[in-house]
Chains A and B, each alone.
Chain A
Amino acid sequence: MLRLIGQRLGLGLLTLVAASVLIFAGTEVLPGDLASAILQNTATPESLAELRQELGLNRPAAVRYFDWASHAVVGEFGRSLASHREVVVEIAPRLRNTLFLASYAAIVAVPLAVGLGLMAAIWQGGVYDRAVNFATLLTISVPEYLVGYILIKYFSVRLGWFPSLANVTPDTPLLSRIWLTFLPMLTLVLVVIAHMMRMTRASVLQIMSSPYIEMAFLKGLPKWRVVIRHAFPNAVAPIISVVALDLAYLIVGVVVVEVVFVYPGLGQLMVDAVSKHDVPVVQACGLIFAAAFILLNMAADVLAILSNPRLRHPR
């Protein structure tokens, strides 16, 4: 068990290094550089040269990469090339916001999706099953910004219940934070719920065709009890891996939602940084995103192992 987890961790680190090289290479092949991105058409050759010198852009790419990597290992991500602020200072509040919104959405979406999925499995083929399938497919098929705008139109413009701007600050108290980010949370929930709900339903139904389930029915147990006590625990592994993927999406893939609700998250920061070729920030964001993906997938693997007695107690 421990060896398995150690192995996964090592592989994860390797993936992380590979990801950092890829991200760096990606920002290198883009045309133009930070200096011209900052100055736009107010640039003179002199001011460009001055800015490049100041930013250290005239050193070779490999030198800059290793310089950065050796510092990153000890937790120094350097300063943003554009704003001169510590990358950590720049990222920390954004990362907190991103994690807050992701957890908020996950806390609502995961129980809801699993519950809906279980009910769909219990009433398989019924009106409820079809309705919930249709509704969730609809919300996943509509682009998330449109979902966002529709929610804004009804809940914010018409009814005025929730604000359309989720402009939280580091000192926003928790309750008003929950209220401010309600609509972005709801948007994300609507986007991810279908995936998890359908996986729950499908994997429970697959287990339902096993002989031991038939046995449970023959004992005279009610259907809900069979589904929840006997089928669900054995169906949990694939659900966990889907949940992990969706959680990773909630952390790394929400830039569109951030833009629509003007939420100061990590995605927007990374987009800005990429367009300005601000490599330290891009690298740090990229590393965080890669780490989130790797960690969540690893957690899913470990949880899947724990949920399976045959893997938990290998012979």
Chain B
Amino acid sequence: MSELEFWRDQHAAGRISRREFLARAGALGAGAAMGTAMVASVEAQAADMPRKGGTLRLGLAGGSTTDSLDPGSYTDSVMIDAGHAFFNALVEWGEDGKPHPSLAESWEVKPGATEWILNIRKGVTFSNGKTLDADDIVYSLNMHRGKTKSGAAGPFKAVADVKKLAPSQVQVALTGGDADFPYVLTDYHVLIVPNGHTDWTKPVGTGGYVLETFEPGVRITGKRNPNYWKSNRAHVDAFDITVINDSSARLNALMTGQIDAMNRVDAKFVALVKKNPKLEIVRASGGWHAVISMMHDRPPFDNHELRLALKYGIDRERVIKALFSGYATPGNDHPIPRTDPYWNSELPQIKYDPDKAKFHLRKSGLTSPPLVLQCSDAAFSGAVDMAQLFQESAAKAGIRIDLKKEPADGFWDNVWLKGAFVTSYWAGRAAATQMLAVAYAPDAPWNESHYKSEKFAKLLAEARAETDEAKRKPMIWEMQSLLYHDGATIVPVFRDWLDAHNKNVGGHTPHGGFDMNNGWIVEQAWLKA
């Protein structure tokens, strides 16, 4: 984006005035006519300007009667969207893929990226009247460390110490360098609560909304916090989240106007939604990807040629068409999506090629390797269908795969990380190095493919400690290439996030991280008149 366009968007978003915009445009050498034309286009969009008021009604999948308001316990959309209305994060993951300051006004990193200083925003108060200070930050970060059941316990293992330096300054020390540490702070579990808070039935946060009613698995409502510190957010007066796990019921509710917006439109229904003049799809390609993981160290998958045969033996395009109605992009057997700034654009896309698969199978020297793919819809809805498509396309290349359907119950406990050939998924991470670390670092507890490459580990450690973008890029590209050539994970597809809303909703925008504005829908959306 050119600088001029940037200022135009700033003006459009109401962050700078018309006069200021024209001054900036002038300074950039744009002619008066051009600047004025841009102002006109902005004013034409004025209908899209945030408007205050109203109740935003969301119908969301991903809620259960076992939900709790404790941020560490969030696993799915309903609690994530509600939690982000009540609490703030230190750092937010912007639509541009970059970390943006929130409760952490700014941060500094020491060389080597092991020590981070966070400067805490001043003058922010919690809904109980307490003023935010460093102690609250230390407490909130420590909720994910040590003896904890937090979902962010994994990424926080790298945190060696959290220390208060001054009333509004916190230092975080890491066990190893991580230039992407601000992204760890954008994790949806890492929300800020007051020091010592334990009663999760009564959430106290600095967020744009305060809790009104909470019936786990049924609905959550909240009303606007009149003292919210962000002036350009929290537009609606109240929100009302109804848990609707059934995808047809969700769409029915949207079509009959009982809700304003919904998440996870079934890809099969997208065409139907597009036909409705009142509705709109919000599509974001992102980091969520399906996975078929083999164990790199377990026969027969320790055979490089067999792995290649299987990689060529899956018809990715068919999976995309059959399972996602086209709303997905083919994966290249590494976990970095095209939307990531560090995506390696030079690796050729692996395509279904029965001849190549046959060739590599012959080269592997294995005549009929026992291939039992353990699949379950617990991995993701459609995983069993994907496995069946894989079985079919591989059979055409002379590779016989047997499917073992595992019960959804206990799948994560008994099959995942235990089976040598299983279906699974990853929700994607904000930073490429995070995603590479969580599932492919030799010592990662969730390294499902047992991929243990010293070269990869070294590159990863270097890339994480490197703060110079120009030097990091080749390292991250190299890691993708390693997984592409030698990895034991098949990444058939990256799925798009598909939300939908009534056209009277503004500010509901695509985000590659997660559905519903990466969880910030409540404070970012508004209702048009």
Nearest-CB residue, chain B, relative to A55? B149
Cβ of A84 under 8 Å from chain B? yes
Instruction: Collect the chain B residues with CB atoms within 8 Å of residue A39's CB.
Output: 75, 149, 151, 412
Cβ of A133 under 8 Å from chain B? no
- What band does the interface of chain B fall in when counting residues whose beta carbon is under 8 Å from A? 35 or more
Q: Is the CB of A165 within 8 A of B410?
A: no
Tell which of B64, B147, B246, B253 has the most Cβ of chain A within 10 Å. B64
Cβ of A238 under 8 Å from chain B? no
Q: Contacting chain B: which of A17-25, A30-38, A286-294?
A: A30-38
Given contacts A54-B149, A80-B66, contact A38 B73 (CB under 8 A): yes
Q: Is the CB of A47 within 8 A of B410?
A: no
Q: Contacting chain B: which of A8-16, A118-126, A256-264?
A: A256-264
Cβ of A163 under 8 Å from chain B? yes
Instruction: Collect the chain A residues with CB atoms within 8 Å of residue B245's CB.
Output: 259
Q: How far is the CA of A221 from the CA of B66 in the complex (A)?
A: 63
Instruction: Collect the chain A residues with CB atoms within 8 Å of residue B243's CB.
Output: 262
Cβ of A192 under 8 Å from chain B? no
Given contacts A40-B75, A262-B244, contact A30 B249 (CB under 8 A): no
Q: Contacting chain A: which of B178-186, B213-221, B319-327?
A: B213-221
Cβ of B329 under 8 Å from chain A? no
Q: Is the CB of B66 within 8 A of A83?
A: yes
Q: How far is the CA of A90 from the CA of B217 in the complex (A)?
A: 11
Q: How far is the CA of A36 from the CA of B378 in the complex (A)?
A: 12
**Which of B64, B73, B414, B445 is the one whose CB lies under 8 Å from A44?**
B445
Cβ of A77 under 8 Å from chain B? no
Q: Is the CB of B219 within 8 A of A43?
A: no
**B86-133 interface (Cβ within 8 A of A):** none
Q: Is the CB of B414 within 8 A of A32?
A: yes
Q: Is the CB of A44 within 8 A of B154?
A: yes
Q: How many residues of chain A are within 8 Å of chain B by beta carbon?
A: 49
Cβ of A273 under 8 Å from chain B? yes
Nearest-CB residue, chain B, relative to A81? B66
Tell which of A30, A160, A264 has the most Cβ of chain B within 10 Å. A264
Q: Is the CB of A45 within 8 A of B445?
A: yes
Instruction: Collect the chain A residues with CB atoms within 8 Å of residue B64's CB.
Output: 272, 276
Q: How far is the CA of A268 from the CA of B217 in the complex (A)?
A: 9
Contact string, B216-234, partner A, CB cutoff 8 A, digits 1/0? Answer: 1111000000000000000
Instruction: Collect the chain B residues with CB atoms within 8 Å of residue A80's CB.
Output: 65-66
Q: Is the CB of B256 within 8 A of A157?
A: yes
Q: Is the CB of B217 within 8 A of A272?
A: yes
Q: Is the CB of A163 within 8 A of B446?
A: no
Cβ of B67 under 8 Å from chain A? yes
Cβ of B150 under 8 Å from chain A? yes
Q: How far is the CA of A39 from the CA of B246 in the complex (A)?
A: 22
Q: Is the CB of A278 within 8 A of B410?
A: no
Contact string, B64-79, partner A, CB cutoff 8 A, digits 1/0? Answer: 1111100001010000
Cβ of B10 under 8 Å from chain A? no
Q: Is the CB of B252 within 8 A of A164?
A: yes
Q: Is the CB of B249 within 8 A of A44?
A: no
Q: How far is the CA of A61 from the CA of B441 in the complex (A)?
A: 38
Nearest-CB residue, chain A, relative to B213? A169
For the complex formed, measure the closest distance between the CB of B266 and the CB atoms of chain A, giving whole angstroms. 14
20 further A-B contacts with Cβ under 8 Å, apart from A31-B413, A276-B66, are A30-B407, A31-B407, A32-B409, A36-B410, A37-B409, A42-B151, A44-B154, A50-B147, A80-B66, A85-B201, A85-B216, A90-B216, A157-B255, A169-B215, A260-B249, A262-B246, A262-B249, A268-B65, A272-B65, A276-B64
The 5 A-B residue pairs whose C-beta atoms are closest, nearest first, are: A32-B410, A31-B410, A82-B66, A36-B413, A42-B151
Show the binding face of A for B, using Cβ within 8 Å: 30-33, 36-47, 50-51, 54, 80, 82-85, 90, 93, 149, 152, 156-157, 160, 163-165, 167, 169, 259-262, 264, 268-269, 272-273, 275-276, 278, 281
15 A-B contacts, Cβ less than 8 Å apart? A31-B407, A32-B410, A36-B412, A46-B153, A47-B149, A85-B201, A149-B248, A152-B256, A164-B252, A165-B244, A259-B245, A264-B215, A264-B217, A264-B218, A272-B66
Show the binding face of B for A, using Cβ within 8 Å: 59, 64-68, 73, 75, 147-151, 153-154, 157, 201, 213, 215-219, 242-246, 248-249, 252-253, 255-256, 258-259, 407-414, 416, 424, 445-446
